[in-house]
Amino acid sequence: MAAQNKNRPSNYVILTLQAIADSETQFGPSGKAWSHVRAFLSQGKNEDDSYKPSIFFEVKAFTKKDAKADMSPVVKALGAVTDRSRFTVKGRLAMTEWNGSDGAKHQQLVIVTNSVDPFSFDGETDSETEELEGEPA
């Protein structure tokens, strides 16, 4: 039986996503930096070559409360993500809910990340990458 990491929460995920906008870095009231970006996970194609629905996420990274530096490395890394770039995140998956101005209940999947890495397909040309790339539904 494989050893389990007891420090990893059950909502821990590792996903490779594609950004749908440039990331933004902001500063909270206490002056701590945080970054966020909207991204999607393609589920690939159906048998008829049409794309399956994509899954959308808000990815966030925060400077830890006890950090002495102005900006943590994960906030800098997420803040460097640009529109249409692929990146791999490790972090906690959550769902946020709110009531809109129209009174409707809204939900959004959020990943609070503790690791951000660029992603590329090893040894593939741009045309091969485009074939694997799914457009957001």
- Which segments within the chain are labelled E, that is strand? 12-19, 24-27, 33-41, 55-62, 86-99, 105-118
Q: Contact at 8 Å (CB) between 58 and 20?
A: no
Report the number of secondary-structure helices (H) and strands (E) in the chain.
2, 6
Residue among 117, 28, 15 at smallest CA distance from 76: 117
pLDDT digits (tens, 9 = 90+) for 83-114: 999 999 999 999 999 999 999 999 999 999 99
What pTM does this model have?
Answer: 0.78
Parallel, antiparallel or unpaired: strands 105-118 and 55-62: parallel
- The amino acid present at 136, given as its one-letter code, is P
CB 63 within 8 A of CB 72: yes
Report the distance separating Cα 119 and Cα 128, nearest Å: 15
Model confidence over 31-72: pLDDT tens digits? 888 999 999 999 999 999 999 999 999 999 998 765 555 678
Residues 133, 85: Cα–Cα separation, whole Å: 11
